[in-house]
Structure 1
Amino acid sequence: MTSMSRARVARRIAAGAAYGGGGIGLVGAAAMGLLLAEVQLAKRQVGNGTAPHAPKAQGLYGLGYSVPGEPPLRLRMLGDSTAAGQGVRRAGQTPGALLASGLAAVAERPVDLRNVALPGACSDDLDRQVALVLADPAQVPDVCVIMIGANDVTHRMPPTRSVRHLSAAVRRLRTAGAEVVVGTCPDLGTIEPVQQPLRWLARRASRQLAAAQTIGAVEQGGRTVSLGDLLGPEFAANPRELFGPDNYHPSAEGYATAAMAVLPTVCAALGLWPADEERPDVSRREGFLPVARAAAEAASEAGTEVTAAMPTGPRGPWALLKRRRRRRVPESEPAPVTPSPQAGPSGV
């Protein structure tokens, strides 16, 4: 599918989400029977649900930057098991911990991390997660990172419904005063045990949803980073190193690579990234595009950021597409805390 075709599909899905539609499917009905059969086979091979629970990574990072009277930055993680960090053994290997330690180093301030992500969650769980994050009006987050979408595809949630829930979550968080960065739906076609034709169908569905998520999130004032295959070109060279033992969730190296892609956008949202890197760089194919076109381009290339640029244009709202340089994120453990227990179904 070309980027123009993907842009049209993404715009239709986003429009359906905005106006209450729900009948736009990601794959044709004729392919659904074969898809379901392949899904069952893939689930048996993947061993989905056998990975250990995500480590508890909540707490303070960057305590060495503490200054009396200056509160820490508040970072909140929402979404599914990718946001939770399922598949690794140490707290410091989870994406939340990696982002918190990286943000602390860039800001030179401590970062308070809280993770309300739920393994197995679909986008309709975001309403509950946002309520948890905003429960204390005196503790509004500085920035929230949402990683969601894979379960929406595997559970066949209508994409318009999926995007509607995500858009509502971004809107609530932005209205409360938090910056929002969305890691869009990963490319399920990269999972090794998945065979054709499911691999092609999963990739197509994942990218269509990712593009529609981008439109929905950007139009509500958020920024997005395309997770794509989570790892960009590194995955093709090292699939066994970048997936965890269950061949489904990322490994520690996989999460580190994803965190490197998301961290610059988190910092930019807080005004912490170098100003000279905020201008589009034509050598990296950055620039201003209609939001649907930018969303389609981003869905095709992992690590691409999309943020709102102009509210109107000759072809609707415009966005800035950026391919930021990745930077290594240090691994560190949180200061001791007593985190609230997490419970829920295992899954993506």
Structure 2
Amino acid sequence: MAGARALKALMFAAGSIGGLSGAAYGLLTGQSKRARTIIGVPRDLPLNADGQYLPDGSGPLPPVRGDALSFAVLGDSLAAGLGAESPERLPGVLLAKSLSDELARPVRLVTHAISGSRTVELEPQVDRALIDPPDLALVIIGGNDVTSRLSIGASAALLAGQVERLMAAGTTVVVGTCPDLAIIQPIPQPLRTVASRYGLSLARAQRRALDKIGARAVSIAALLSPEFLARPHELFSADRFHPNGAGYELAANVLLAPLCDVVRRAQGLTGVGRVASVVVS
């Protein structure tokens, strides 16, 4: 999800999408300042519970290669799990446990995601992941791109380029595209509509770029926005900007089936093929 710093650049995004009059720009500037005051700046680092998870639900245990499926998580605060109340409720942990249960094999979780990351900052995370290429990788990135001076098309192309690097290393990729920023209620109107238009436009561009290279994309906006809009008090953390544990559990439930599908397809084609999943926020 976009961090508070993203609000500083929403006016630029609005101008790049459709243009603003002087009065409208002034209105959005004032709203952005008020929204940043409400949201505040996150003071806590995301929790971490990397390690090995077993089909019996135990973990995290010290990593052991063996028959374990290596699962890397890359991206921004949504991938890192900022807002989760405990390590057990992190999206990577929820998915590692579920994958281990569904696939009946150990899963080794490694988190490279960094809160606040933009697509231009994904490359170093991929560099670290490729030191020991994962079998499965999940990347969530894009919501913070509103702070970037790159065009939406250029941002999507950067994502596809990093996904291609993972694929070239034998990794299968699933991407969760940019969420709908309209779900973040502390952003007042009409600024929230501007943010929503940006996020949805980026999500469409991401999907087009990923389709061209044969990477799997999952629409976070289409699958999660209705629930977050209907139940914000149940699914957001105290900052009202990032999901809480229940919100991450909902996201994990949406992502699990595509992740299992790409793993099983890769195994069916190559026996023990590598698989990577990328999610974008």
Same-fold call, TM cutoff 0.5: yes
Is residue 76 from structure 1 mapped to residue 68 from structure 2 by the alignment?
A: no
1:155 positional shift = 4.4
**Residue 229 of structure 2, aligned match among 236, 261, 266:** 236
**Residue 168 of structure 2, aligned match among 171, 175, 191:** 175
1:57 positional shift = 1.9
Is residue 91 from structure 1 mapped to residue 83 from structure 2 by the alignment?
A: no
* In 1, Cα distance between equivalents of 2:96 and 2:71: 7
* In 2, Cα distance between equivalents of 1:116 and 1:230: 25
* In 2, Cα distance between equivalents of 1:250 and 1:156: 27
Is residue 116 from structure 1 mapped to residue 112 from structure 2 by the alignment?
A: yes
* In 1, Cα distance between equivalents of 2:57 and 2:247: 28
CA contact 1:25–1:159 (8 Å) conserved in 2: no
* In 2, Cα distance between equivalents of 1:174 and 1:234: 32
**Residue 151 of structure 1, aligned match among 144, 148, 154:** 144
1:159-195 Cα deviation digits (max 9, x unpaired): 1231121011111011111111111111111111111
* In 1, Cα distance between equivalents of 2:165 and 2:25: 35
Q: Percent identity?
A: 39
**Residue 57 of structure 1, aligned match among 23, 36, 49:** 49
Q: How does 1:1-348 map to 2 (within 5 A)?
A: 25-30=16-21, 34-50=27-43, 52-62=44-54, 64=56, 70-136=66-132, 140-155=133-148, 157-228=150-221, 231-271=224-264
Letter in 2 for 1:205: Y
* In 1, Cα distance between equivalents of 2:47 and 2:156: 28
Over 3 Å counting, the alpha-carbon distance change for 1:69 and 1:81 in structure 2 is: closer
Letter in 1 for 2:110: R
Structure 2 gaps of 5+ residues are 1-14, 59-63, 269-280
* In 2, Cα distance between equivalents of 1:41 and 1:144: 37
Deviating more after overlay: 103-112 vs 35-44: 35-44
* In 1, Cα distance between equivalents of 2:210 and 2:85: 31
Letter in 1 for 2:215: G
What residue number does 2:278 align with?
Answer: none
CA contact 2:76–2:118 (8 Å) conserved in 1: yes
1:44 positional shift = 1.3
1:42 positional shift = 1.3
* In 1, Cα distance between equivalents of 2:57 and 2:182: 41
1:215 positional shift = 1.1
Structure 1 gaps of 5+ residues are 1-23, 276-347
Over 3 Å counting, the alpha-carbon distance change for 1:69 and 1:94 in structure 2 is: closer
1:234 positional shift = 2.0
CA contact 1:57–1:91 (8 Å) conserved in 2: yes
What residue number does 2:277 align with?
Answer: none
1:202 positional shift = 1.0
The TM-score, its normalising length taken from structure 1, stands at 0.66
* In 2, Cα distance between equivalents of 1:164 and 1:178: 19
* In 1, Cα distance between equivalents of 2:123 and 2:38: 32
The TM-score, its normalising length taken from structure 2, stands at 0.81
CA contact 1:26–1:208 (8 Å) conserved in 2: no
Counterpart of 1:86 in 2: which secondary structure?
A: coil
Q: Aligned-pair RMSD on alpha carbons?
A: 2.5
Q: How many residues align?
A: 247
